[in-house]
Chains A and B, each alone.
Chain A
């Protein structure tokens, strides 16, 4: 029973201690109103936890609850307004990088204006991506074989998930396309998965709930799809996808297919964004529902727990749907227009090969028919 068994736990504990340590300069700043330790009653604490749960995407509904907890702090706020600087566990890091100015409020000639730059999303996104990279690197090192011959557990998890997703992609795209582009699509999958799951941690926000992040992901996916299509199948085949099957219907088909292609990143991004945002909005409303009960009972009851459990499943599902659709789009656009596509995507009937009768044989004695 050595201490090295607990090394990950100790490292996590140390990191949490560093992140949670309250530096005096931060305490003096007026925007520290919403730190988790500065609330009075249990009710406002739960509301702030609920608000921390959703980061910045809190509507005016939560403003009324917050108004009570903030009256004694430095900033002047009308009741029912929303202070966007709730912060996350990475609050200190955000302030160190982006300065002491409260997020979203900048000064122009003495007047404070509300801006839309949300630095917390950037910091949480980069932190999550660094976490994924760290997990990948640690899990993919040479398998550390224990004396019994079993590999380390992190390698198990990382290799199983990577290989499992790769097999799933082989089922969609075929072995040669999947062999080349599984790393790209797996990156999308794991990034979106971890982004969605970050919203479930109290005190963190889901980067995919901010409109910018899913749009960025969908735009990158869109550009990648078309580059891969041109690289795999050639420019002519890519262009023929837009023109369509009977060439004389091209004036009708071309705008239709063009709009169909442009709508794909839009639908991918809106689906991901609204699912995650709606999920955490429901969790917020449930938490606000719980405030009254907690104030009466003086005991915290997590009303939003079923929603968080559902959010785990739906976060995974949305990442899976995004990656599956991306893989399908890549495979559709990358198949040669004249080649037989194994899934018969274009609905051609004249390319059916009947096994046993169409195979090229070198010698008649090799033919399957005796």
Chain B
């Protein structure tokens, strides 16, 4: 039980930030190339900006899928009372050596 809850808490806490890392790198690359294109040809700036915004929204949607998983896993987390009760009922073995 402890391991399940521990792993669950880890997944709930770490799932979204890992997705955010990937999205941050991807969006950084997208914006960098968009800015380079705008600097190279300023008259196409409007078109490039529109395409960049849409590309950013698509990359962001992948993070939103991870957010959906967060919202689905969050109700499964135990409350503090439940966790302390389980800890009292089955105490974790301590190292005695």
Query: Which residues of A come within 8 Å of B, CB atoms?
Result: 59, 168, 267, 270-271, 274-275, 277-278, 317-318, 320-321, 324
Contact of A270 among B57, B58, B60, B64 (CB under 8 A): B64
Q: Do the beta carbons of A278 and B58 come within 8 Å of each other?
A: no
Please give the distance in Å from B18's CB to the nearest CB on chain A: 17
Contact of A320 among B54, B64, B71 (CB under 8 A): B54
Instruction: Enumerate chain A residues within 8 angstroms of B54, measured Cβ to Cβ.
Output: 320-321, 324
Q: Do the beta carbons of B67 and A274 come within 8 Å of each other?
A: yes
7 cross-chain pairs, A with B, having the tightest CB-CB distances, nearest first: A271-B61, A274-B64, A321-B57, A274-B68, A317-B57, A278-B67, A274-B67
Apart from A278-B64, A320-B54, A321-B61, 18 more pairs, CB < 8 Å: A59-B74, A270-B65, A270-B68, A271-B57, A274-B64, A274-B65, A274-B67, A274-B68, A274-B71, A275-B61, A275-B64, A278-B67, A317-B53, A317-B57, A318-B57, A321-B54, A321-B57, A324-B54
Please give the distance in Å from A142's CB to the nearest CB on chain B: 32
Please give the distance in Å from B54's CB to the nearest CB on chain A: 6
For window 25-73 of chain B, which residues contact chain A by CB distance below 8 Å? 50, 53-54, 57-58, 60-61, 64-65, 67-68, 71
Please give the distance in Å from A70's CB to the nearest CB on chain B: 21
Instruction: Enumerate chain A residues within 8 angstroms of B64, measured Cβ to Cβ.
Output: 270-271, 274-275, 278
Docked complex Cα distance between A278 and B20 (Å): 15
Please give the distance in Å from B48's CB to the nearest CB on chain A: 13
**Size range of the chain B interface in the assembly:** 10 to 19
A281, closest chain B residue (CB)? B71
Docked complex Cα distance between A317 and B61 (Å): 12
Instruction: Enumerate chain A residues within 8 angstroms of B65, measured Cβ to Cβ.
Output: 270, 274
Best-buried of B54, B57, B65, B74 by chain A (most CB within 10 Å): B57
For this complex, 17 residue pairs linking A to B, each with C-beta atoms less than 8 Å apart, are A59-B74, A168-B50, A267-B61, A270-B61, A270-B68, A271-B61, A274-B71, A277-B71, A278-B64, A278-B67, A318-B57, A320-B57, A321-B54, A321-B57, A321-B58, A321-B61, A324-B54
B69, closest chain A residue (CB)? A274
Instruction: Enumerate chain A residues within 8 angstroms of B67, measured Cβ to Cβ.
Output: 274, 278
For window 72-93 of chain B, which residues contact chain A by CB distance below 8 Å? 74
Please give the distance in Å from B33's CB to the nearest CB on chain A: 19
Docked complex Cα distance between A224 and B50 (Å): 25
If over half of A's interface residues share one DSSP class (helix, strand or loop), that class is named, otherwise mixed; here it is: helix
Please give the distance in Å from A295's CB to the nearest CB on chain B: 24
Docked complex Cα distance between A320 and B53 (Å): 10
Instruction: Enumerate chain A residues within 8 angstroms of B50, measured Cβ to Cβ.
Output: 168
Instruction: Enumerate chain A residues within 8 angstroms of B68, measured Cβ to Cβ.
Output: 270, 274
Instruction: Enumerate chain B residues within 8 angstroms of A168, measured Cβ to Cβ.
Output: 50
Instruction: Enumerate chain B residues within 8 angstroms of A317, measured Cβ to Cβ.
Output: 53, 57
Instruction: Enumerate chain A residues within 8 angstroms of B74, measured Cβ to Cβ.
Output: 59
Docked complex Cα distance between A238 and B67 (Å): 35
B53, closest chain A residue (CB)? A317
Docked complex Cα distance between A267 and B53 (Å): 18
Docked complex Cα distance between A274 and B61 (Å): 9
Docked complex Cα distance between A59 and B70 (Å): 13
Please give the distance in Å from A218's CB to the nearest CB on chain B: 13
Instruction: Enumerate chain B residues within 8 angstroms of A320, measured Cβ to Cβ.
Output: 53-54, 57
Best-buried of A59, A274, A277, A320 by chain B (most CB within 10 Å): A274
Best-buried of A277, A317, A321 by chain B (most CB within 10 Å): A321
Best-buried of B54, B60, B64, B71 by chain A (most CB within 10 Å): B64
Docked complex Cα distance between A139 and B61 (Å): 34
Instruction: Enumerate chain B residues within 8 angstroms of A270, measured Cβ to Cβ.
Output: 61, 64-65, 68
B55, closest chain A residue (CB)? A321
Docked complex Cα distance between A275 and B67 (Å): 9
Docked complex Cα distance between A324 and B56 (Å): 13
Docked complex Cα distance between A277 and B64 (Å): 10
Docked complex Cα distance between A41 and B68 (Å): 35
Instruction: Enumerate chain A residues within 8 angstroms of B58, measured Cβ to Cβ.
Output: 321
Instruction: Enumerate chain B residues within 8 angstroms of A277, measured Cβ to Cβ.
Output: 71
Instruction: Enumerate chain A residues within 8 angstroms of B60, measured Cβ to Cβ.
Output: 275
B66, closest chain A residue (CB)? A274
Please give the distance in Å from B41's CB to the nearest CB on chain A: 17
B50, closest chain A residue (CB)? A168
